[in-house]
């Protein structure tokens, strides 16, 4: 069974609290997961950010909406219980509870009309069938990043080989490799050295050396190019190498890396390259920043 959307969770969650006892959000997630017969894989499926399981997020938002409508309350941190209003709702035996149903309760109407951020307003006015507000935000961020990644690939492929080598230097330095821009710049860009474009320190102390191959190609990088790089590393007695390209690697090329034995080679294709660039602010700049906040229950605790 597919992971239920947050609105489909509302009625089962209210029924779960119908025994008038306090329940933890963790117990609620376990109950909802069992009720909808979720597989272990579905229970572990994460949001786009990878920071929280989807079922946890949707159960949490179902609880939030029921609380805003006054059907549930939170007696203490991470716990909830049904209210008299919630009990009356259960007596009416509704076929389902969703955002439209909750509009009959003043608390929920106030929640919808109170001044919010642009993102919250869009969600409340135009709710998606499945996604919670957080899911909606993360999915849009992911889409923006994918679009940005596509634009970066185009820019990279339009640049000169020399610029691409400088880009690699900037990125590796931002990721913590190398000593300084000057030292790294001297190491990378010396092409024609038996299949190696350059070297860079593994860390700022220079405890180990990594050999680099940086190719701004349009076509797929195949097995011959990887084998040439492997041979060059072996001639140098090197144990670590990075092959970076703006395009992609063939299946045979990736398989050849798996058979290198003690030599560790990392392949970075165009997709992974632009992801690293975005994560490390190389070639991109921030135009906006948003914070998502939640109630700090510890602050309001009077115990």
Domain 159-268 has CATH 3.40.1340.10: yes
For residue 139, pLDDT over 90 is answered with no
Among 202-211, 245-254, 291-300, which is the least confidently predicted range?
A: 291-300
Task: Report the alpha-carbon distance of residue 47 to residue 136 in Å, rounded.
Answer: 10
Among 13-27, 28-42, 160-174, which is the least confidently predicted range?
A: 160-174
pLDDT at 126: 39
Could you tell me where the beta strands, DSSP code E, fall in the chain?
A: 23-24, 72-73, 79-82, 188-193, 196-201, 209-215, 240-245, 264-268
Average pLDDT, whole number, for the chain? 82
pLDDT at 115: 46
Are 84 and 78 in contact by the 8 Å Cβ rule? The answer is: no
Are 63 and 106 in contact by the 8 Å Cβ rule? The answer is: no
Task: Report the alpha-carbon distance of residue 112 to residue 97 in Å, rounded.
Answer: 16
pTM: 0.56
Bridge-based pairing of strands 209-215 and 240-245 is parallel
Residue 17 gets which letter from DSSP?
G
Percent of the chain whose pLDDT exceeds 70: 81
Are 200 and 184 in contact by the 8 Å Cβ rule? The answer is: yes
């Amino acid at each position: 069974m597919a992971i239920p959307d947050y609105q489909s969770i509302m009625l089962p969650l209210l029924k779960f609290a119908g025994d008038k006892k306090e329940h933890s959000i963790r117990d609620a997630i376990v109950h909802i997961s069992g009720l909808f017969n979720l597989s272990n894989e579905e229970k572990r499926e994460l949001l786009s950010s990878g920071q929280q399981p989807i079922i946890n997020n949707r159960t949490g938002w179902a609880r939030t909406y029921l609380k805003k409508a006054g059907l549930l309350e939170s007696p203490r941190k991470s716990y909830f219980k049904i209210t008299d209003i919630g009990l009356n709702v259960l007596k009416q035996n509704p076929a389902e509870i969703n955002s439209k149903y909750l509009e009959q309760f003043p608390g929920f109407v106030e929640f919808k009309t109170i001044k919010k951020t642009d993102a919250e307003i869009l969600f409340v006015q135009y709710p998606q069938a499945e996604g919670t507000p957080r899911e909606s935000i993360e999915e849009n961020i992911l889409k923006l990043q994918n679009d940005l990644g596509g634009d970066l690939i185009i820019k990279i492929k339009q640049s000169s080989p020399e610029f691409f080598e400088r880009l690699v230097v900037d990125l590796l330095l931002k990721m913590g490799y190398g000593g300084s821009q000057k030292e790294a710049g001297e190491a990378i860009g010396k092409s024609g050295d038996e299949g190696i474009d350059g070297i860079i320190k593994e860390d700022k102390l220079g405890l180990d050396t990594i050999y680099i191959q940086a190719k701004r190609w349009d076509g797929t990088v195949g097995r011959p190019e990887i084998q040439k790089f492997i041979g060059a590393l072996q001639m140098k007695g090197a144990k670590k190498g990075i092959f970076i390209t703006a395009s992609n690697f063939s299946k045979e090329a990736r398989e050849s890396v798996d058979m290198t034995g003690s030599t560790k080679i990392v392949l970075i294709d165009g997709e992974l390259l632009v992801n690293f660039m975005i994560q490390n602010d190389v070639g991109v700049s921030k135009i906006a920043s948003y914070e998502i906040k939640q109630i700090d229950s510890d602050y309001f605790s009077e115990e």
